[in-house]
Amino acid sequence: MKELEERIVSEGTVKAGNVLKVDAFLNHQCDVELFDRMGEEWARLFEGKRVDKVLTIEASGIGIACIAARHFGNAPVVFAKKYQSINLDGEQYVTSIHSFTKQKDFHVIVSKKFLSAGEHVLLIDDFLANGCALNGLIELCEEAGAVVEGIGIAVEKGFQGGGDSLRERGYDLQSLAIIESMDDETGEIRFRR
Ligand code: 5GP
């Protein structure tokens, strides 16, 4: 998606450790008009697919997923929680993932009442790096017996391999910008074509 690539180039910063900062429009301050056009683009890319539910992970995926859902017949959005809380009651699907940015292990938790066998689910997230977060969401869907209909990602860091291994496993993964390489010294960002 050309507009997203342009925003990454003009407003993103490359940090040491292969981290791209896009907090001016994607995951701290949010450009909701951009989110809306991203949703429109995923709707085009996933045209004809059955989407009963959109599943994401807190926190940065939530805003993007909610606006994207407007383009999928206002499908309900469920976000996996990373922390147990008193508001999380009843039976749950739980798995464990490793966070690339925080260098920590997290639980990924969804209440059983919000994910059911036979539901067709679109997974949405802001970033895809090694694929740990998405693998966690996929495991929750498998546990529930839900069908992963597609995966929509805003920014995929192609050089970290998570996306390619999901494609090899047969998932319909649509990333709106795929970074082939980035350099924290020069700030240069190259996209996959
Ligand atoms: P993965 O689990 O695929 O390794 O990483 C995906 C998660 O880590 C995303 O949900 C995102 O929150 C975070 N993440 C990974 N790489 C980056 C990055 O370069 N920049 C930002 N802002 N977040 C990232």
Q: How many residues does the chain have?
A: 193
pTM for the whole thing? Answer: 0.96
pLDDT in tens, 10-52: 999 999 999 999 999 999 999 999 999 999 999 999 999 999 9
Q: Quick one: 145 exposed, middle or buried, by C-beta within 10 A (0-12, 13-18, 19+)?
A: exposed
pLDDT in tens, 75-104: 999 999 998 777 777 899 999 988 766 788
Beta strands in the chain, from DSSP E residues, in sequence order: 13-15, 19-21, 53-57, 77-80, 92-99, 104-111, 120-128, 147-157, 173-182, 189-191
Tell me the CA–centroid distance for residue 130 and ligand 1, in Å.
Answer: 8
Which atom belonging to ligand 1 lies closest to the Cα atom of 162? 3
Tell me the CA–centroid distance for residue 10 and ligand 1, in Å.
Answer: 20
